[in-house]
Structure formats: structure tokens, C-alpha cells
Chain A
Amino acid sequence: SQKIEQNSEALNIQEGKTATLTCNYTNYSPAYLQWYRQDPGRGPVFLLLIRENEKEKRKERLKVTFDTTLKQSLFHITASQPADSATYLCALPLGYQGGKLIFGQGTELSVKP
């Protein structure tokens, strides 16, 4: 069955540095991959979506890459701020027609001032 793995350990970085989070998947070739942010006690919030034929997507300080050969997506936050501290989830829609979405377990990011 399809599986998604994200860094299980929390990532601690200093303010101003670039945070890089990893999402690896197996047994599937998705047409899209999505990234969400989740704050404690809140629902996930959509950040970025990348298509399989896009190598890279940017939105302000966020950058997502999608390597279909490695079956991996990287999520970067440049010039990180304490307000970026949250858990970040990657998600794979199963099939374009949709319906089913599987999530990674998430990586907790902590940005220290």
C-alpha cells in the first residue's frame, strides 16, 4: 500500500536560517503533492501544491521541490521566524479524480529566536 514518511524527529533551528523538511513516499506515483501547516489545537492549513511535472514551486519564503525519481518532496522555509514554528504535513492525493488523501505523520519545526 502507499506510504508517506516524514522526518519523525522535531527540527530545531535558529531564527534566520533555512528549514528543510523531507517527505518520502513509496508504492505510488502521485500527480500532485500537497503541504499543510498545523498549529497545536488547530486544523491543518493548506500551504502549497506541486504537480509532478513541476520541479519547484515558490510562495513568498516557502519553496517546495518534487523529485519523482527519488519519490521525494522537500519543503524549505527561508529566513525562518519563530512564528513558523508548527507541524508541517505532506499529503498525497490518490488518483486525480480524487477523494482519497493520505498524510505523512508530520514534522514539528521549532524556530528559536
Chain B
Amino acid sequence: EAQVTQNPRYLITVTGKKLTVTCSQNMNHEYMSWYRQDPGLGLRQIYYSMNVEVTDKGDVPEGYKVSRKEKRNFPLILESPSPNQTSLYFCASSFSGTANQPQHFGDGTRLSIL
């Protein structure tokens, strides 16, 4: 089954403790992206990757890091999490990332930073 898999689905942690949210897709997609979703603010793009070793900032990249060493994986790293990063995070992928390509989303990771 074609899917985007995120792990963990839920995480409660404390300020300053580094964490990684993994994202993997099995559709051989070139493009992957991370979003956060907050009440009243909607989905906002954090980082995206058009291909392996190519990443770029979205609208809200501060406090996050990403890497794209393999086509299927696109982990999101919070080096020193803070409470304002408490949010619902989604990973997405698409065939090429061009404007005419739909994005396929994972089921989300709910992150709470205390």
C-alpha cells in the first residue's frame, strides 16, 4: 500500500531534549515536505526537499533541521525543542513537487514540549 509513515505518532517531552521525527514514503517520490498545523493558523510549511541532498526552507523553519540522505526518508530534527514547537506535524510527499502534483500526507505526529 502506498503510504507516508511518520513516527512517533505521539510524543511528550521536555524543553531542550533533542528529538527526531521520522518520515518514510514507499512511492519513490522525489519531493518530501514537513508541515506543522496549529489552531487558527492552519498548515504551515517548515522545510521541503525536491530531491536527495536538496532541501529548502518553508515559511516557518526556525528551530528545525532536516536532512535528505535517501529518497525515501526525510527526518525532522528539533535540536533544542521549546514549548512553542508544541504542534501537530505532518510529513508529505509527491512525485516531483511541481505545482501540478498532489501531495500525499502521513497521519501526523502530535508533539508536546513541556
Contacts and interface: CB of A to CB of B under 8 A. Distances in A.
Interface of A: 30-32, 34, 41-46, 49, 51, 89, 91, 93, 95-106
Contacts of A106: 42
A30 B96 CA distance: 18
A105 B40 CA distance: 7
Contacts, number: 71
A103 B42 contact: yes
Interface of B: 4, 31, 33, 35, 40-45, 48, 50, 56, 58-59, 90, 92, 96-108
A97 B98 contact: yes
A84 to B, nearest CB: 19
B102 A46 contact: yes
B105 A44 contact: yes
Contacts of B90: 43-44
Contact of A102 (B50, B59, B98): B59
Given A98-B50, A102-B45, A46 B99 contact: no
A111 B101 CA distance: 29
B50 A89 contact: no
Contact of A96 (B43, B59, B99): B99
Given A98-B50, A103-B43, A32 B99 contact: yes
Contacts of B42: 89, 103-106
B45 A43 contact: no
